[in-house]
């Protein structure tokens, strides 16, 4: 709440670079340059993330620690360093996401990332926690579901966020591991 005290809760607009104001037209289809840039930049960073996690020594350490931190320590994995790197990567990705969100909707206010953050978490749960391709698939499914919900039920468009939470409830009830998640049971 400190941000509200300092900056107030009133949205503040900012100037968007000229490139991001353009609209590309392909026949009947119109695409805003911010949307196009968001898709391309997101795909690039997703590819980099998948490469880091699945093709590097640091990624192997990340996956090892996520499975069993104590065994990772015994296998000489520098747990503190790996956790710091993971936090830095996550923070960098959050910054990129925030910049892309800000370019799409050029207003800044203290709670501007709350709903996108919740939807990202729901996408990770729908796809399968700890599964990068699953989170991507979950995000695509949630986005398409939300758009179809608004397209087919325009009178209920004010409930689009509630619809996403309803999807979360159904996933947790019927497939709690997510779409691509693995049902892992720990034996004692």
Please write down the HEC assignment for all residues of 20-73: HHCEEEECCEEEEHHHHHHHHHHHHHHHHHHHHHHHCHHHHHHHHHHHCHHHHH
Q: How far apart, in Å, are the Cα atoms of 11 and each of 7, 32, 73?
A: 9, 22, 47
Phi/psi class of residue 130: alpha, beta or left (left: φ > 0; alpha: ψ in -120 to 50)? left
d(CA 155, CA 110): 29
Residue 29 bridge partners (DSSP): 26
Whether the predicted pLDDT of 10 surpasses 90: no
| Residue pair 167/124 in contact by the 8 Å Cβ criterion | no
Whether the predicted pLDDT of 34 surpasses 70: yes
Domain spans in the chain, listed from the N-terminal domain onward: 15-110, 113-188
Q: How far apart, in Å, are the Cα atoms of 173 and each of 24, 125, 126, 168?
A: 42, 12, 11, 9
Q: How confident is the model at residue 84 (pLDDT cuts 50, 70, 90)?
A: very high
Name which residue leads in pLDDT, 14 or 82: 82
Q: Average pLDDT of the chain?
A: 90
The model carries a pTM of: 0.82
Joined tokens for residue 31 = 């695409």
Q: Which candidate, 97, 95, 96, 106, places its Cα nearest to that of 21?
A: 106
Burial of 41 (0-12, 13-18, 19+ CB in 10 A): middle
Q: How confident is the model at residue 186 (pLDDT cuts 50, 70, 90)?
A: low
Strands, DSSP E only, in 48-173?
A: 107-108
3-state DSSP assignment of residue 99: helix
| Residue pair 9/110 in contact by the 8 Å Cβ criterion | yes
d(CA 96, CA 76): 32
How high is the pLDDT of residue 187? 58
Q: What confidence tens digit (pLDDT) does each residue in 38-50 have?
A: 999 999 999 999 9
């Amino acid at each position: 709440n400190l941000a509200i005290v300092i900056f107030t809760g009133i949205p503040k607009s900012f100037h968007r670079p000229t490139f991001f104001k353009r609209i590309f037209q392909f026949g009947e289809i119109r695409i805003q340059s911010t949307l196009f840039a968001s898709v391309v930049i997101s795909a690039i960073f997703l590819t980099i993330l998948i490469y880091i996690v699945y093709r590097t020594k640091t990624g192997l350490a990340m996956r090892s620690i996520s499975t069993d931190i104590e065994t990772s320590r015994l296998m000489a994995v520098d747990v503190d360093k790996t956790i710091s790197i993971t936090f830095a990567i996550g923070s960098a990705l959050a910054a990129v996401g925030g910049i892309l969100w800000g370019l799409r909707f050029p207003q800044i206010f203290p709670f501007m990332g709350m709903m996108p953050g919740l939807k990202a978490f729901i996408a990770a749960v729908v796809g399968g926690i700890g599964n990068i391709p699953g989170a991507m698939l979950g995000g695509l499914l949630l986005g398409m579901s939300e758009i179809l919900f608004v397209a087919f039920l325009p009178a209920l468009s004010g409930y689009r966020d509630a619809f996403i939470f309803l999807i979360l409830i159904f996933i947790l009830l019927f497939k709690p591991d997510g779409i691509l998640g693995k049902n892992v049971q720990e034996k004692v």
